[in-house]
Amino acid sequence: MNICVSNGEAVQFELRFACEGKVQEDVPFTGEFLSKWITFDGGIPVLLMGLGKRAELDRKRARRAAAKGVSTLIEMEVSSIGIDVSLILGVLGEGSLRAVAESALLALYRLPGWHFEEKARRETALFIKGAEEITDAQEQLEEARRLAEQVCRARDLVNAPSNLLYPQTMAEEMVRLGQKVGLSMSVLDEKQAAELGMEAFLTVGKDAAQPPRLIVARYDGDPESSERIALVGKGITCDTGGYCLKPASSMGGIKGDMAGAAAVFCALCALAESGARVNATVVIPAAENRIAPGSFLPGDIIGSMSGKKIEIGNTDAEGRLVLADAVTYAIRREHATAVLDIATLTGAVVSMFGFTTAGLLCDDEEMCADFLRAAELSDEQYWRLPIFPEYERMIDGKLSDVSNVSTDGCGTITAGLFIRRFAEGLPWMHLDIAGTAWTDPPRWEYQSKGATGAGVTTIYHFCRRWGEAHRNSAQSGAEN
């Protein structure tokens, strides 16, 4: 992926933006949002992309217009594009360069083809014009490139089919990618997980075609501090529902049930590449949820690494089981001081918020505020759900500590609260991306059909803020 500030090199095509109003005499193009027009300037072809009314222009619209412009030119097989950002930066400020560059790069994403030899991704060179005066332009473009690359990597992981990407191959791929950016990687097999008592995790993956793996990626960006955030991502590489089998009509997306895992891993890679001052550990419980002779059954009562007993109401509510043990692992073995988990966890969140907005639960006001500010930088949409005391009772077990299904609705909230029972009182946040991780058709111009890479950018920005706000000095034990 390639983007840089233009040095006046010749490009095949220019992309320029226009706000609504009479843009040019004698042409029908008025600058209406996402409308386009091709013209020439000094012999260079120019694609004009409408931004809509100036007063309505925001960063999200700028992202959408930039992506649509680049996609249009790629369809025309243009190999070098000069993007004139002066109008957008004039309206939205210099800091919006990163957002525009990021979505221009995301428009370059192409699905990998597995049926042939890995096809080279189309290499289109992007040059930014109109940012020459901006002192941190180079930094903003670098950050945009790092983020776009990691979003694309997350999309690749989620788009990969379950027969190719299963716990062991996902672990191998992440070890390879993680080591390249300097993460400390470790992978626990089922025997090592059993020694730690991870029964909730192992129960889901038991007797499946491919054995489970616990993938751990550590980034020590602030060795002076003892603060560490756990980033726990659901890594179910195929979710058939188990004995509570999904209907065939719901099986289309079962390979995408590890989007939470992809999000936290790729966000951590971006943090490492940028040298962010934060300590973070990604923990991914990777397993298949299948039907096999030894698979778990509704009514079973199982243990967990925490010691809590869990009764199974539904084998399709498997995500919270594997996440519970992963959270305990992050706290007890990695000494996390705050927990963020992310998962394609419930159909209920899709009914509530559709495919553009993820659900959020959080029991710490400062953590929540920081995350929502990070979401403003990424232009992803999250909406916070309430934690009322009566919701807690809905997952109390009859024969055990906790049940994996609610007795009384509130599917998204109770799924989150199940996981919170394993957070040991630490500041905790939960993101349900079942609606936003996958899109067909694309809802925004910077997406492509299939995996979206949801969560990567917001988690990255959030962790940077969190590192900034939670720095202490472990050596001296002093606050600063």
304 phi and psi angles, rounded to 5 deg:
-155, 165
When the beta carbons of 244 and 374 are compared against Zn ion, the nearer one is 244
When the beta carbons of 3 and 157 are compared against ligand BES, the nearer one is 157
Of the residues 63, 98, 320, 464, which is catalytic?
320
Residue of 84, 173, 227, 318 interacting with ligand BES (CB under 6 A): 318
Question: Which residue from 393, 404, 390, 278 is spatially nearest to 345, judged by alpha carbons?
Answer: 404
When the beta carbons of 221 and 455 are compared against ligand BES, the nearer one is 455
Q: Closest approach of Cβ 76 to Mn ion, in Å?
A: 42
When the beta carbons of 324 and 331 are compared against ligand BES, the nearer one is 324
Both tokens of 184, joined, read 């400390």
Q: Is 432 in the site for ligand BES (CB under 6 A)?
A: no
CA 478 vs CA 10, 226, 475: distances in Å: 56, 11, 8
Length of the chain in residues, anyone?
A: 480
What residue number has its CB nearest to Zn ion?
Answer: 239
Q: Is 346 in the site for ligand BES (CB under 6 A)?
A: yes
Q: Contact at 8 Å (CB) between 49 and 365?
A: no
**Choices 72-80, 123-131, 201-209, 313-321 (CB under 6 A): range interacting with ligand BES:** 313-321
When the beta carbons of 212 and 253 are compared against ligand BES, the nearer one is 253
Residue of 50, 211, 235, 319 interacting with ligand BES (CB under 6 A): 319
Both tokens of 14, joined, read 């220019």
Residue of 84, 143, 288, 316 interacting with ligand BES (CB under 6 A): 316
Binds 350, which of ligand BES, Mn ion, Zn ion, none (CB < 5 to 8 A, cut-off by type)?
A: ligand BES
Which residues contribute to the site for Mn ion (CB under 5 A)?
Answer: 239, 316, 318
Q: Is 242 in the site for Zn ion (CB under 5 A)?
A: no
Q: Is 350 in the site for ligand BES (CB under 6 A)?
A: yes
Q: How far apart are CA 429 and CA 422, in angstroms?
A: 12
Q: Closest approach of Cβ 119 to Zn ion, in Å?
A: 31
> 226-265 mask for ligand BES (x: CB under 6 A)?
-------------x-------------x---x--------
Question: Which residue from 255, 124, 285 is spatially nearest to 190, judged by alpha carbons?
Answer: 285
Question: Which residue from 191, 200, 219, 217 is spatially nearest to 419, judged by alpha carbons?
Answer: 200
Residue of 52, 235, 285, 319 interacting with Zn ion (CB under 5 A): 319
Of the residues 246, 308, 333, 471, which is catalytic?
246
When the beta carbons of 283 and 336 are compared against Zn ion, the nearer one is 283
Residue of 239, 341, 379, 432 interacting with Zn ion (CB under 5 A): 239
> How many C-beta neighbours within 10 Å does residue 67 have?
27
When the beta carbons of 84 and 239 are compared against Zn ion, the nearer one is 239
**Choices 27-35, 89-97, 344-352, 448-456 (CB under 6 A): range interacting with ligand BES:** 344-352
Residue of 112, 303, 347, 397 interacting with ligand BES (CB under 6 A): 347
Binders of ligand BES: how many residues, by CB under 6 A?
17
Residue 309 falls in the annotated catalytic set: no
When the beta carbons of 62 and 312 are compared against ligand BES, the nearer one is 312
> 382-421 mask for ligand BES (x: CB under 6 A)?
-----------------------x-----x----------
**One-letter-per-residue 3-state SS of the chain:** CCEEECCCCCCCEEEEEEECCCCCCCCCCCCCCCCEEEEEECCEEEEEEEEECHHHCCHHHHHHHHHHHHHHHHHCCCCEEEEECHHHHHHHCHHHHHHHHHHHHHCCCCCCCCCCCCCCCCCCEEEEECCCCCCCHHHHHHHHHHHHHHHHHHHHHHHCCCCCCCHHHHHHHHHHHHHHCCCEEEEECHHHHHHCCCHHHHHHHCCCCCCCEEEEEEEECCCCCCCCEEEEECEEEEECCCCCCCCHHHCCCHHHCCHHHHHHHHHHHHHHHHCCCCEEEEEEEEEEECCCCCCCCCCCEECCCCCCCEECCCCCCCHHHHHHHHHHHHHHCCCCCEEEEEECCCHHHHHHHCCCEEEEEECCHHHHHHHHHHHHHHCCEEEECCCCHHHHHCCECCCCCEECCCCCCCHHHHHHHHHHCCCCCCCEEEEECCCCCEECCCCCCCCCCEECCCCHHHHHHHHHHHHHHCCCCCCCCCCC
Residue of 317, 323, 330, 451 interacting with ligand BES (CB under 6 A): 317
Q: Is 453 in the site for Zn ion (CB under 5 A)?
A: no
Residue 68 falls in the annotated catalytic set: no
Binds 346, which of Mn ion, Zn ion, ligand BES, none (CB < 5 to 8 A, cut-off by type)?
A: ligand BES
Binds 253, which of Mn ion, ligand BES, Zn ion, none (CB < 5 to 8 A, cut-off by type)?
A: ligand BES
Q: Closest approach of Cβ 86 to ligand BES, in Å?
A: 41
* Catalytic machinery residues: 246, 320
Contact residues toward ligand BES (CB under 6 A) are 239, 253, 257, 314, 316-319, 344-348, 350, 405, 411, 434
Contact residues toward Zn ion (CB under 5 A) are 236, 239, 257, 319
